[in-house]
Amino acid sequence: GHIVSQLWHVGRMSHASFHADGLPVAPSAIAPDAQVWVVGEDGVGRMVDCPIPRELSKQDIKDIIQDYRRAASNAIEAGFDGIEIHGGNGYLIDQFLRRSSNKRDDEYGGSITNRLRFVMEVVEAVSDEIGANKVGIR
């Protein structure tokens, strides 16, 4: 048999309490119409609205792409046979693809070609690191 690790980044589908350095990040500073589960200081869990995320800088985007590369390498080193990149369900890759969450006016926004750039760079980085025959995307 084979075992595959799924790599994903939630992007704006998060809460500030999960980030030591502040807000969740996204292609654009647009809060999702969604809630996330958090545990308050009182120890009680509850659903709360997602905050307005911080828009990713170009350097942030490059860093996240390298995080995917490093995570893929680590997974293979740990014994996984391959990687599945999660590109749906409103998470970061999906956020770049959607016009409703990506209002960028640089090479990562606007046209479908530009909105595809992030996922293509992630797939390329992971494939370069571990081999394209070990990479899938959903």
Q: What is the set of active-site residues?
A: 91
- Taking the C-alpha atoms of residue 31 and residue 114, their distance in angstroms, rounded to an integer, is 21
The total of other beta-carbon atoms located within 10 Å of residue 126's CB is 25
Phi-psi region of 26 (alpha: psi -120 to 50; beta: other; left: phi over 0): beta
Tokens encoding 30: 């647009």
Contacts for 79 with CB less than 8 Å, ≥ 6 apart: 3
44 secondary structure, DSSP code: -
